Structure 1
Amino acid sequence: MIQTISSVKERPELTDSADRLLDAVRIYKAKKAKKILFTGGSGLLFADKYREADLANKILLDLGVPKEDILLERESKNTYENAVESAKILNAHGFKDIILVTSAFHFRRAAGCFTKQGIVFYSYPTDYRSFSTDSNAFDLWVPSPGYLELSTLAIKEWVGVLIYELKGYL
C-alpha cells in the first residue's frame, strides 16, 4: 500500500491498496481498536532500505494516531512472514484477538496465514477491486489496461494461495 521505492522519500506515496491503512485508522478512531499494528518490511528481495512499516508510521502519525498506539512489524517480506512476526508482537503484548484489515482479494491467503499462527481475528476486508455489473456502464465492456491489471492481480493471488498451500503456510 506504500511505495517503498518512490523517488520522493520525504513524503510516503500510497498505492491502490491505501484503503488498508485508511480503514485501520477509521477503525482506531471509531474506538474499535486500541492500537494499530502495521506489518510490513520492504517486500523487495534486494532493496530493503525502506521498510513499509516505517513509511506507514509517518502517515499514521500525520493522521493523528498517537505514537504510543502504533506497533510496527518491519522485518517481514511476505504475507506468511507478516503473520509469523505479528504473532510474536501480539503475544508479547498479550493481545488475544485482533481486527485483520487487508485487501478483499488477498483476504483468503492472509486469513489462512494468521489462523495458522493461532491468531484469533475479526475480518475486515477492504480495498475491493470488483465492479457492479448492474451499473450499465459501457466502460465495463470495453477492454482496458485497468482490467488487465485486475486480471493479473487475481492470477498472482491464486498462484500465491497455491504456493502457500503447498508450503504449508495455510
Structure 2
Amino acid sequence: MKFLLDLLFRVLQLFTEPYFLLFLAVVIMGLLKRKNKRKNLRIGIGISVVLIIIFIGNGFLGKLISGYLQNSYTHTSEVKNTAAQNPVIVVLGGGVVDVNNTEKLHTMSYSRIVTAYQLYHEFRKNNTPCKIVISGKGRGHTSEAELFNENFKKMGVSDADIIKEDKSMNTYQNAKFSSPIIKKLAPASVYLVTSGFHMKRSVSLFQIFGLKPIPQASDFIDTEITIFPNSYNAAFTFVMLKEVVGIWQVQLYNSLGVNK
C-alpha cells in the first residue's frame, strides 16, 4: 500500500513543475486536435494553463502559501529557556552543490549554520552543556553533515559537541535516523533548525518518532505581488507548492498509520 501511495505522490509532485504543466497542456491539445475536438476547447485549455502560470508568476498564490507554511515560525528565533538541561540542537541539511569539482553547501545551508550557532552560543554563554546533531547525507561524495561539521568547527564549536547523522537522504530519514541519537542523549529540550518553508513538514515528521522539537526557522521565502509575472515569484511558488504536497503526504500517511 505504501508503495502505491509513494507512487501517487510522486505523480502529484509533477504538477508542481511548470514545464510538466506546459507539456501536459500541449499533449492534451494535441490529442483533442487529433480527435477533431472543438478548437475552442483546445484554446480554452491553453489559456487556462497560461493564466495559471501568470497567477503564479504574479506572486498571489505564493503569498498565500508562504503564510500557510511560515507564519507560525516568524517569532521563534529566541531561546525561551536558556536554563534548559542538556538541550540538543538538530540541524537539517540544505543540500550540496558541485562548483568546479568542489562540493559546497547550498546557499540556504548557511542560514541554518548561523541560527544553530547562535542557539549553541546562547547556551554555552550560560554554561549549559549543549549538543548539535547535524542530519543529512546529500547526494555528493562528501556528506552534508561533514560539510556542516567543518563550518561549525571553524566557528569555534567543540568537536565533542557535534554529532553527525550522515545516512539520511530526505526529511523523513532526517527524523527517522536522528531520533534514536537524540533520545539516547535524553535532552530536556530539542531545537529543530531548518528553513521556514520547510519547518511545518519537518516538525510533523519528528513528532512521528516521538519527539516534540521547538522550531527555530533559519530563513524565510516569500513572493512579491507584481503586475507582470516574473521568474522569482514563479520559482519560489513552485518550491512552496512542493512542500504543501509533502505536508499532505505526511498527514495522509499519519491517518493511515503507514509513516513509521
1:19 Cα shift?
1.4
Question: 2:161 aligns to what?
Answer: 69
TM-score (norm 1): 0.81
Q: Please say if 1:41 is aligned against 2:143.
A: no
SS for the counterpart of 2:193 is: strand
Q: Which runs of 5+ in 1 are unaligned?
A: 132-138
Identity of aligned residues (%): 26
Q: Structure 1's 51 and 64: CA in aligned 2 closer, same or farther, altered over 3 A?
A: same
Number of aligned residue pairs: give it.
159
Going by fraction, where is helix more abundant, 1 or 2? 2
TM-score (norm 2): 0.55
Show the 5 A alignment for 1:53-64. 53-64=145-156
Show the 5 A alignment for 1:10-159. 12-31=104-123, 34-42=130-138, 44=139, 48-130=140-222, 140-141=225-226, 142-159=228-245
SS for the counterpart of 1:109 is: helix
Contact map agreement 1:41 1:77 (CA 8 A) in 2: yes
RMSD: 2.4
SS for the counterpart of 1:87 is: helix
Aligned letter for 2:204?
A: G
- Cα distance per residue 1:2-45 (max 9 Å; x no partner): 55241356673441343122100111111177111111111x4x
- Cα distance per residue 1:108-138 (max 9 Å; x no partner): 110101111111222212211136xxxxxxx
C-alpha distance in 1, partners of 2:191/2:113?
13
Q: Structure 1's 9 and 57: CA in aligned 2 closer, same or farther, altered over 3 A?
A: farther
Q: Please say if 1:167 is aligned against 2:259.
A: no
Q: Which protein is bigger by CA-based radius of gyration?
A: 2
Q: Write out the 4+ residue segments of structure 1 that deviate beyond 6 Å after TM superposition.
A: none
SS for the counterpart of 2:213 is: strand
Contact map agreement 1:40 1:76 (CA 8 A) in 2: yes
- Cα distance per residue 1:46-84 (max 9 Å; x no partner): xx5221101111111111111111111110111111011
Contact map agreement 1:2 1:56 (CA 8 A) in 2: no
Q: Structure 1's 122 and 2: CA in aligned 2 closer, same or farther, altered over 3 A?
A: closer
Aligned letter for 1:154?
A: M
Contact map agreement 1:2 1:55 (CA 8 A) in 2: no
C-alpha distance in 1, partners of 2:108/2:194?
12
Contact map agreement 1:87 1:117 (CA 8 A) in 2: yes
Contact map agreement 1:51 1:74 (CA 8 A) in 2: yes
SS for the counterpart of 1:18 is: helix
C-alpha distance in 1, partners of 2:102/2:161?
23
